[in-house]
Amino acid sequence: MLDNQKVLILNYSYEPLQFCTAKRGIIMVLSGRAEKIETNGYVVRSPNFSFPLPTVIRVLKMVRRNRRNRGKGVAFSKKNIMRRDNYTCQYCGVREKLLTVDHIIPKSRGGETNWMNVVVACKPCNLKKGNRTAVEAGMALNKKPFRPSFHYHSFVIPSASPEHLESWYKYLPPSLRARNVFN
Ligand SMILES: [Zn+2]
């Protein structure tokens, strides 16, 4: 059971860092490297051990990340577009394997290949939109595309119970609160 449950790790500054297994999260708390921030009411029990299952923990020492990239932002790549958009079609909200990237204003129409004009789309939406702009096709975007300012590594939101998702929600950047995950 512990391996299926995920814990959101926050930096000392409360900025989300990554998800880990509940087991690792509990070890971090017990070893004094992190503190419990949120629990969901479950208690982990074994013969000589009982511990409220955390859903969110916070490290007690600031973790410095990707210093090299600071200021420069995240590299523009298909992989990072997928991460930014949380592997979710920005038109219909589907999360599936057959995702591609879509130019909101098609390349053939002068659309640029950059953070503001490229979003994740499923194959059917991409096909349906064809050579039209999103506006022409009457296809609304889930959210406005943006240039991400931090690394999205590890930021696929794991599947979890609604209570777990709820407890993570307020700590995650708005870009990750995908419509289909949180409602
Ligand atoms: Zn779609």
DSSP 50-100: EEEEEEEEEESSPPP--GGGTTT-----HHHHHHHTTT--TTT----S-EE
- Identify the CA nearest to 156 among candidates 127, 125, 181, 134: 181
Q: Ligand 1 center to residue 89 CA distance, Å?
A: 5
Determine the distance from the C-alpha atom of residue 46 to the mean position of all C-alpha atoms in its chain, rounded to a whole number: 32
Element (H or E) spanning 35, and its range? Answer: strand 34-46
Instruction: Catalogue the long-range contacts made by 176-179 (C-beta closer than 8 Å, 24 or more residues apart).
Output: 176/86, 178/85, 178/86, 178/88, 178/93, 178/95, 178/142, 179/88, 179/93, 179/142
Residues 17-31 pLDDT 10s: 888 999 899 999 999
Question: Which pLDDT does position 4 carry in this prediction?
Answer: 79
pTM beyond 0.85: the answer is no
Q: Ligand 1 center to residue 138 CA distance, Å?
A: 13
Q: Ligand 1 center to residue 98 CA distance, Å?
A: 10
Contact 78, 100 (CB under 8 A): no
Count of helices and strands (H, E) across the chain = 4, 6
Provide DSSP, 108-121.
Answer: GGT---STTTEEEE
Neighbours of 6 (CB within 10 A): 20
Considering the four listed CATH numbers 2.30.40.10, 3.60.110.10, 1.10.30.50, 1.10.630.10, the one that applies to the domain covering 74-148 is 1.10.30.50
Q: Ligand 1 center to residue 125 CA distance, Å?
A: 4
Question: Which pLDDT does position 180 carry in this prediction?
Answer: 40
Residues 104-156 pLDDT 10s: 999 999 999 999 999 999 999 999 999 999 999 999 999 999 888 665 554 67
Domains of the chain, residue spans? 6-66+153-176, 74-148
